[in-house]
Amino acid sequence: MPLQVAVQMDPLERVNIETDTTFFLMLEAQTRGHGLFVYAPDRLTLDDGRVLARGRAVNLRAVRGDHHSVGEVEVRDLSEADVVLMRHDPPFDMAYITATYLLEKIHPATLVVNNPAEVRNAPEKLFVTGFPGLQPPTLISSDPEALHDFHARHGDVVLKPLYGGGGSGVVKLRAGDPNLDALLELHALIGREPVIAQKFIPAVSAGDKRILLVDGEPVGAINRIPADGQVRSNLARGGRAEAVDLTARDREICDTIALELKDRGLLFVGIDVIGDYLTEINVTSPTGAQQLRRFGGPDAATALWDRIEAIRGIV
């Protein structure tokens, strides 16, 4: 039996069909005969208790420059969908959080991937702190004195926006670097949120591993190599992807977090591992599935839809 699948995403016409994970997931759904409806997060509405979305039915094809056809604009009651993929990109701001509150009203009768309440309760750079021994030394604070003390204790550090994504705003500060105050002033101009500081891991020069997990089980990994002279390895920031195998330490990390992911209903997750350290647990819009498949690794889209169909009772 085909499923009706709604996808909350950034504009479909702008995606790179050769790298975009959302497109890859949608194409697999369509191949299985499921119907697709797309809408932007700012077209989500709560109307007298009904969760509505203004969007279009869509048909996809893997043709660059001609990758989709759309139907007429219509409003659908998302409680009548079988599955909603919540796939729009961070920043994880109040608009993002509000979307989780609205989608929580229809889950799990309509299966929202990932569970919207747990997306809200597991902000990616905070969630990871719940697993002692997996992270490098980490500080989350708005207190300049605490941040200066952390910098002095650990030397080279990386400073990140707490709720950013895609490598945006990530900088490296060397031991004794005098620019910390200026950077904190810039962060304060953007918002009131704390920042996160982590001890710099030199192993990042060998790559930042993205491991994809479906319902707590590792599917496979890619290694993201930063461009020359860069600290950020994100593919959106010029990083280069390459094939990589899971190590014993990678599997230990996955085993440690697996039950928590399952219990929270976080079906599709991407974790970042540098050297022996877990640095982030990405639950909003994880990427890397196309690159993993291209390198001959497992198909994360197949694994995810197998699990979704099992939950929805499709054999």
Whether residue 215 lies in the annotated active site? no
Among candidate residues 76, 87, 120, 160, the one labeled active-site is 160
Q: Answer whether 187's CB lies under 8 Å from 168's CB.
A: no
Can 14 be counted among the known catalytic residues?
no
Catalytic, out of 76, 125, 199, 209: 125
Cβ partners under 8 Å of residue 72, min gap 6: 56
Task: Say which of 82, 282, 293, 309 is annotated catalytic.
Answer: 282
SS3 98: helix
Q: Is 118 among the catalytic positions?
A: no
105 included as an active-site residue: no
**Gyration radius of the chain's alpha carbons:** 20
Q: Which of 224, 234, 250, 309 is catalytic?
A: 224
Cα(270)–Cα(267) distance, rounded to whole angstroms?
A: 10
C-alpha span between 226 and 211 (Å, rounded): 17
Q: In what order do the strands lie in the sheet with 195-199?
A: 138-141, 195-199, 157-161, 171-173
Which of the following is catalytic: 76, 199, 232, 264?
232
User: Among 229, 222, 147, 235, which residue's Cα sits nearest to residue 187?
Assistant: 147
Q: Is 240 a catalytic residue?
A: no
State how far the Cα of 271 lies from the Cα of 286, in Å rounded to an integer. Answer: 8
**HSE of 187 in the Cβ direction (CA atoms, 13 Å)?**
26
Token pair for 276: 């022996």
Q: What DSSP line would sit under 254-292, residue for residue?
A: HHHHHHHHHHHT--EEEEEEETTEEEEEE-SS---HHHH
In contact, 14 and 7? CB cutoff 8 Å:
no
Active site residue 280: yes
Q: Nearest-CA neighbor of 39 among 121, 94, 102, 92? A: 102
Largest interatomic CA distance in the chain? 62
Terminus-to-terminus CA distance in the chain, angstroms?
9
Hey, which residues does 39 pair with through a beta bridge?
8
**Catalytic annotation on 282?**
yes
- Catalytic, 125? Answer yes
Q: Which listed residue (76, 210, 264, 293) is catalytic? A: 210
Report, as residue numbers or ranges, the catalytic residues. Answer: 125, 160, 210, 224, 232, 272, 280, 282
